[in-house]
Protein backbone atom coordinates (compact mmCIF):
# COMPACT_ATOMS: atom_id res chain seq x y z
CA UNK A 1 0.00 0.00 0.00
CA UNK A 2 2.90 2.32 0.72
CA UNK A 3 4.22 1.49 -2.75
CA UNK A 4 0.91 2.67 -4.26
CA UNK A 5 1.04 5.85 -2.22
CA UNK A 6 4.54 6.57 -3.51
CA UNK A 7 3.31 5.97 -7.06
CA UNK A 8 0.45 8.41 -6.43
CA UNK A 9 2.93 11.08 -5.31
CA UNK A 10 5.02 10.47 -8.42
CA UNK A 11 1.96 10.91 -10.63
CA UNK A 12 0.93 14.11 -8.86
CA UNK A 13 4.47 15.52 -9.10
CA UNK A 14 4.74 14.56 -12.75
CA UNK A 15 7.70 12.31 -12.00
CA UNK A 16 5.98 8.98 -12.57
CA UNK A 17 7.47 6.70 -15.14
CA UNK A 18 5.07 5.88 -17.94
CA UNK A 19 5.98 2.21 -17.78
CA UNK A 20 3.49 -0.17 -16.23
CA UNK A 21 4.28 -1.65 -12.86
CA UNK A 22 3.24 -4.81 -11.11
CA UNK A 23 2.64 -5.63 -7.48
CA UNK A 24 2.75 -9.23 -6.35
CA UNK A 25 1.04 -9.68 -3.00
CA UNK A 26 1.10 -13.31 -1.87
CA UNK A 27 -1.08 -14.20 1.08
CA UNK A 28 -0.30 -17.31 3.06
CA UNK A 29 -3.77 -17.47 4.60
CA UNK A 30 -5.62 -19.78 5.11
CA UNK A 31 -3.05 -22.54 5.55
CA UNK A 32 -1.57 -24.19 8.62
CA UNK A 33 -0.64 -23.05 11.10
CA UNK A 34 -4.09 -21.52 11.31
CA UNK A 35 -4.02 -18.05 12.75
CA UNK A 36 -4.94 -14.47 12.02
CA UNK A 37 -5.03 -11.26 14.05
CA UNK A 38 -8.04 -10.23 16.08
CA UNK A 39 -10.86 -9.67 15.41
CA UNK A 40 -10.57 -12.29 12.67
CA UNK A 41 -9.24 -15.09 14.86
CA UNK A 42 -12.44 -15.10 16.92
CA UNK A 43 -14.75 -13.72 14.25
CA UNK A 44 -16.60 -16.99 13.73
CA UNK A 45 -18.80 -18.30 16.51
CA UNK A 46 -17.72 -21.90 17.02
CA UNK A 47 -21.21 -23.01 18.00
CA UNK A 48 -22.67 -21.72 14.72
CA UNK A 49 -20.45 -23.79 12.45
CA UNK A 50 -22.53 -26.37 10.59
CA UNK A 51 -21.61 -30.02 11.04
CA UNK A 52 -18.37 -30.87 9.32
CA UNK A 53 -18.22 -33.47 6.58
CA UNK A 54 -17.67 -36.96 7.92
CA UNK A 55 -14.24 -38.48 8.37
CA UNK A 56 -13.25 -40.20 5.16
CA UNK A 57 -14.32 -43.81 4.98
CA UNK A 58 -14.13 -46.48 2.34
CA UNK A 59 -14.56 -45.23 -1.18
CA UNK A 60 -12.84 -41.91 -0.44
CA UNK A 61 -9.33 -40.96 -1.59
CA UNK A 62 -6.60 -41.96 0.86
CA UNK A 63 -5.32 -38.41 1.18
CA UNK A 64 -8.40 -37.43 3.21
CA UNK A 65 -7.37 -39.84 5.95
CA UNK A 66 -3.68 -39.19 5.45
CA UNK A 67 -4.02 -35.44 6.08
CA UNK A 68 -5.13 -36.15 9.64
CA UNK A 69 -2.55 -38.88 10.19
CA UNK A 70 0.33 -36.81 8.77
CA UNK A 71 -0.53 -33.80 10.91
CA UNK A 72 -1.38 -35.96 13.93
CA UNK A 73 -4.72 -34.18 14.30
CA UNK A 74 -7.28 -35.18 16.90
CA UNK A 75 -10.70 -36.06 15.55
CA UNK A 76 -12.83 -34.56 18.32
CA UNK A 77 -15.72 -32.43 17.13
CA UNK A 78 -14.67 -29.53 19.40
CA UNK A 79 -11.12 -29.50 18.03
CA UNK A 80 -12.29 -29.61 14.43
CA UNK A 81 -14.85 -26.84 15.02
CA UNK A 82 -12.05 -24.68 16.44
CA UNK A 83 -9.82 -25.38 13.43
CA UNK A 84 -12.67 -24.65 11.04
CA UNK A 85 -13.62 -21.41 12.78
CA UNK A 86 -10.04 -20.10 12.74
CA UNK A 87 -9.75 -21.19 9.10
CA UNK A 88 -12.87 -19.20 8.18
CA UNK A 89 -11.52 -16.22 10.13
CA UNK A 90 -8.29 -16.42 8.13
CA UNK A 91 -10.31 -16.33 4.91
CA UNK A 92 -12.10 -13.22 6.19
CA UNK A 93 -8.69 -11.69 6.97
CA UNK A 94 -7.50 -12.40 3.42
CA UNK A 95 -10.65 -10.72 2.09
CA UNK A 96 -9.96 -7.73 4.34
CA UNK A 97 -6.38 -7.41 3.03
CA UNK A 98 -7.55 -7.54 -0.58
CA UNK A 99 -10.08 -4.85 0.30
CA UNK A 100 -7.30 -2.65 1.69
CA UNK A 101 -5.40 -3.04 -1.57
CA UNK A 102 -8.47 -2.10 -3.61
CA UNK A 103 -9.15 0.87 -1.30
CA UNK A 104 -5.56 2.04 -1.75
CA UNK A 105 -5.95 1.85 -5.52
CA UNK A 106 -9.13 3.93 -5.26
CA UNK A 107 -7.64 6.53 -2.91
CA UNK A 108 -4.51 6.96 -5.03
CA UNK A 109 -6.45 7.34 -8.25
CA UNK A 110 -4.77 4.28 -9.73
CA UNK A 111 -7.86 2.06 -9.78
CA UNK A 112 -9.04 3.15 -13.22
CA UNK A 113 -5.73 2.22 -14.86
CA UNK A 114 -4.92 -0.88 -12.86
CA UNK A 115 -5.77 -4.50 -13.49
CA UNK A 116 -6.11 -6.68 -10.40
CA UNK A 117 -5.80 -10.43 -10.69
CA UNK A 118 -6.57 -12.65 -7.72
CA UNK A 119 -5.78 -16.35 -7.56
CA UNK A 120 -6.55 -18.84 -4.87
CA UNK A 121 -5.78 -22.47 -4.41
CA UNK A 122 -8.20 -24.91 -2.88
CA UNK A 123 -7.11 -23.88 0.60
CA UNK A 124 -7.23 -26.66 3.09
CA UNK A 125 -9.85 -29.03 4.35
CA UNK A 126 -9.72 -27.59 7.88
CA UNK A 127 -11.19 -30.74 9.36
CA UNK A 128 -13.64 -31.54 6.58
CA UNK A 129 -13.37 -34.98 5.03
CA UNK A 130 -11.09 -36.28 7.75
DSSP secondary-structure letter at 75? -
In order of 29, 31, 119, 125, 126, the CA distances from 122 in angstroms are 11, 10, 10, 8, 11
What is the per-residue pLDDT for 85? 92
- R_g of the chain computed on alpha carbons: 20
pLDDT in tens, 44-84: 999 998 887 766 566 767 776 677 777 777 778 888 889 88
Say if CB 65 and CB 130 are below 8 A apart.
yes
Sign of CA dihedral 73, 76, 80, 85: negative
Choice between 58 and 109, residue whose per-residue pLDDT is larger: 109
Confidence band, pLDDT 50/70/90 cuts, at residue 123:
low
For residue 8, give the nearest of 98, 112, 95, 97 by alpha carbon.
112
The answer to whether 36 and 86 have CB atoms below 8 angstroms apart is yes
pLDDT value of residue 11: 62
pLDDT-derived band at 41, boundaries 50, 70, 90: very high
Q: What is the pTM of this model?
A: 0.76
pLDDT of residue 42: 97
Count of Cβ atoms closer than 10 Å to residue 69 Cβ: 10
Cα–Cα–Cα angle for 57, 123, 102, nearest 5°? 155
pLDDT value, residue 48: 92
pLDDT of residue 122: 65
Burial string for 29-60 (b: 16+ CB within 10 Å, else e) reads bbeeebebeeebbebbeeeebeebeeebeeee
Percent of the chain with pLDDT over 90: 15
Lowest mean pLDDT among 18-32, 37-51, 77-91: 18-32
- pLDDT of 43: 97
What pLDDT is attached to residue 112? 84
Amino acid sequence: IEFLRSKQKDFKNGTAESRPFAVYLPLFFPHPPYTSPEPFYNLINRSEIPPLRPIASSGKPDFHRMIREYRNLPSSEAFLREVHAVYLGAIAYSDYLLGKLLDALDSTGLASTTNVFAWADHGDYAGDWG
